[in-house]
């Protein structure tokens, strides 16, 4: 861990493009030496926020403080941040070594010192033997490793990653998630990663900010967001959820222990649903089994209420189920969360 | 397979036409240059005296040097002017601005060469609209150069613009993010990646300049003589074989320089030569 890792303080940042406001007064503090994910669907403003952090864009209002120094209007080449682009953005006319050395050469470093730093960085991402290759001869995953090495070699206070894994195939993504986490821990750098993939964010981030339509809906650890979502959007976006809209206590034929207050919806995670004999004491309402899918550890069952609502249940493997069966739905009152709609 | 055959059928007439015309003209030129006097019969005895005369003539070499120098100066100057223009068009936000700009750049081609050349003569003349600014330019090298740069600008702007547009914008952003200031970004990233466009611009302009006739003839005032003019003069004097030899010389010159630039382009594009 190095002492240079610093926190980011974003206060009241607003960005407009013409008549459209892309960010509405965002405020966010990111702890030093942490892995932070900006998570949201496309168009939520997460990439714009990242460009503001990188210095590729300037906010219309608000301030950005990085490592205790205000950098709201500092251009990209004078910031203690480095950005890894979604495409990698490797320079196609330079070898891997020259790509990684580019940033250090910009700072005036040369000779053996430059060589050592470049080699170290390439070793970190296990790409040492590719130093002489041209980017066009590398695979997508290798290119992305070089892009990360090229940014990390500058030892930035903050490493910004813009959808770094989205261009890779799923198996490689799963592997690279663990790698990213490892590099963050080994270098002690603050990582800020933009992604639309909630599974990715939950796996790699210490803290996640869920963004939607230019605002941050909620910030917290993956566990906090999952267990106690504060908004309907977070409840639906972080993990899978069944969301019930209506005054209650009976919604879609299911009887809830407590009715939803005004302006609230009730949520129930799929793994908290149980299926019981229709009409038994535990049953809170009748449903029909629509589909049954086996995933390995669990069975994912698509259910349909009497009103036609579709629900998802995640049941222990081995639960006997036949599509078309009429069963009763059960759950513990403690697993029902009311969130603002 | 079918679409391939169709493509062959569609391309065949044009290709055949070009090959026929080019090959027959070059063959005729060679044939004429290997005679000692004008003849319609190609069976006249072969005679290399014309070539001997042309190649040992000091005047021919002087004209050849002028032609090549003019080609180099004009092509380099044109590219130097064209690059910022292309960059400017590329960065224009509104489509109508770019369209207007491109029209202005393209406009010299829309005007007849004679009209345009006399227009330049009026601009450059002593006590013209610019006063004494261009004194001594008209009927001398600078006048010819400035007029040629004007008309050949679009031939450099378009390939350079295409090259600039093909560079992904995030490469410039990545360079900035890695600490490179504007000059380093341009020299290390933008320029090398757009070099193929610059070189094809130079190639086009060079080829057009060394074969230019009207502009040097009208604005050179007899002081700037290029190869195309001596060919014309030879034909006027009914020295067809000499004209043919000079024309072959011009062709060889053009091919030589184009080959040189193609090699250079392959060199600067480095590992990406494959495309």
pLDDT at A281 over 80: yes
Where does residue A208 rank: exposed (0-12), middle (13-18), buried (19+ CB within 10 A)? buried
Q: Which two tokens stand for residue A100?
A: 């990684």
* Closest Cβ opposite residue A89 in set B174, B184, B192: B174
pLDDT score of B238: 83
Given an 8 Å threshold on Cβ–Cβ distance, is B170 in contact with A89? yes
Substitution target in A53, A92, A96, A148 with the highest count of B β-carbons within 10 Å is A92
- CATH number at B57-274: 1.10.3720.10
> Euclidean distance between the first and final Cα of chain B, in Å?
24
pLDDT score of B43: 60
Q: Give the residue extent of every domain in chain B.
A: 57-274
d(CA A123, CA A187): 13
Least confident of A2-16, A105-119, A293-307: A2-16
pLDDT at A4 over 50: no
Q: How confident is the model at residue A6 (pLDDT cuts 50, 70, 90)?
A: low
**Chain mean position to CA B224:** 17
Looking at residues A184-206, what average pLDDT do you find?
93
Residues of chain B with pLDDT under 70: 1, 37-44, 131, 269-275
Percentage with pLDDT > 70 across chain A: 98
pLDDT at A287 over 60: yes
pLDDT score of B223: 81
**Chain mean position to CA B60:** 21
pLDDT score of A262: 80
pLDDT score of A92: 94
pLDDT score of B273: 36
Least confident of A40-54, A119-133, A283-297: A283-297
pLDDT score of B108: 87
Q: Does B140 touch chain A (CB under 8 A)?
A: no
Which chain B residues are within 8 Å of A82, Cβ to Cβ?
177-178
pLDDT score of B274: 34
Pairing verdict, β A190-195 and A35-39: parallel
d(CA B150, CA B208): 13
Looking at residues A189-206, what average pLDDT do you find?
94
Provide the ipTM: 0.78
Interface of B with A in 27-46 (CB under 8 A): none
Looking at residues A18-47, what average pLDDT do you find?
93
Contact in structure between A218 and A229 (CB atoms under 8 Å) = yes
Given an 8 Å threshold on Cβ–Cβ distance, is B188 in contact with A102? yes
Q: Which residue of A lies nearest to B275 if distances are taken between CA atoms?
A: A136
Element (H, E) at B3: helix B2-33
Given an 8 Å threshold on Cβ–Cβ distance, is A136 in contact with B272? yes
Q: How confident is the model at residue A2 (pLDDT cuts 50, 70, 90)?
A: very low
pLDDT score of B275: 33
């Amino acid at each position: 861990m190095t002492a240079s890792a610093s926190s980011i303080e974003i206060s009241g940042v607003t960005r407009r493009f013409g008549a459209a406001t892309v960010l509405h007064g965002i405020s966010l503090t990111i702890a030093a030496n942490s892995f932070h994910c900006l998570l949201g669907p496309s168009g939520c403003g997460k990439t714009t926020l990242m460009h503001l952090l990188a210095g590729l864009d300037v906010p219309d209002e608000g301030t950005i403080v990085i490592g205790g120094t205000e950098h709201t209007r500092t251009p990209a080449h004078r910031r203690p941040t480095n950005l890894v682009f979604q495409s990698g953005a490797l320079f196609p006319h330079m070898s891997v070594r020259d790509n990684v050395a580019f940033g250090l050469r910009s700072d005036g470093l040369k000779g053996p010192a430059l060589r050592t730093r470049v080699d170290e960085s390439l070793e970190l991402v296990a790409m040492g033997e590719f130093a002489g290759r041209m980017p066009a001869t590398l695979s997508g995953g290798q290119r992305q490793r070089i892009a990360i090495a090229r940014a990390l070699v500058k030892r930035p206070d903050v490493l910004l990653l813009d959808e770094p894994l989205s261009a890779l195939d799923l198996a490689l993504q799963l592997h690279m998630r663990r790698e990213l986490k490892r590099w963050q821990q080994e270098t002690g750098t603050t990582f800020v990663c933009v992604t639309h993939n909630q599974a990715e964010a939950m796996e790699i981030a210490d803290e996640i900010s869920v963004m939607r339509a230019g605002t941050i809906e909620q910030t917290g650890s993956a566990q906090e967001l999952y267990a106690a979502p504060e908004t309907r959007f977070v409840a639906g976006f972080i993990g899978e959820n069944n969301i019930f809209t209506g005054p209650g206590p009976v919604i879609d034929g299911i009887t809830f222990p407590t009715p939803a207050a005004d302006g609230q919806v009730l949520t129930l995670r799929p793994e908290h649903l149980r299926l019981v004999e229709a009409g038994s004491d535990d049953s809170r309402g009748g449903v029909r089994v629509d589909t049954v899918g086996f995933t390995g550890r669990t069975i994912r069952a698509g259910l349909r209420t009497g009103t036609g609502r579709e629900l998802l249940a995640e049941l222990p493997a081995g639960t006997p189920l036949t599509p078309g069966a009429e069963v009763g739905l059960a759950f513990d009152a403690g697993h029902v969360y009311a969130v603002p709609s | 397979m079918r679409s391939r055959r169709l493509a062959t059928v569609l391309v065949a007439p044009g290709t055949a036409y070009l090959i026929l015309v080019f090959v027959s003209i070059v063959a005729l030129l060679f044939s004429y240059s290997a005679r000692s006097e004008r003849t319609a019969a190609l069976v006249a005895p072969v005679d290399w005296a014309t070539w001997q005369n042309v190649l040992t003539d000091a005047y021919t070499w002087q004209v050849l040097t002028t032609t090549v120098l003019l080609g180099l100066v004009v092509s380099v100057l044109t590219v130097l002017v064209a690059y910022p223009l292309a960059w400017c068009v590329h960065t224009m936000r509104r489509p109508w601005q770019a369209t207007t700009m491109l029209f202005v750049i393209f406009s010299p081609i829309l005007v007849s060469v004679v009209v345009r050349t006399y227009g330049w003569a009026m601009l450059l003349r002593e006590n013209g609209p610019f006063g004494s600014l261009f004194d001594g330019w008209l009927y001398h090298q600078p006048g010819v150069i400035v007029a040629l740069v004007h008309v050949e600008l679009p031939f450099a702007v378009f390939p350079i613009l295409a090259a600039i547009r093909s560079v992904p914008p995030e490469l410039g952003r990545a360079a900035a993010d890695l600490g490179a200031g504007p000059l380093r970004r341009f020299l290390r990233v933008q320029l090398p990646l757009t070099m193929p466009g610059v070189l094809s611009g130079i190639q086009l302009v060079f080829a057009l300049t060394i074969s230019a006739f009207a502009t040097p003839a009208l604005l050179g005032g007899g002081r700037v003589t290029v190869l195309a003019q001596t060919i014309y003069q030879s034909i006027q004097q009914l020295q067809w074989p000499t004209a043919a030899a000079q024309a072959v010389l011009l062709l060889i010159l053009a091919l030589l320089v184009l080959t040189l630039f193609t090699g250079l382009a392959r060199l600067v594009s480095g590992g990406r030569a494959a495309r």
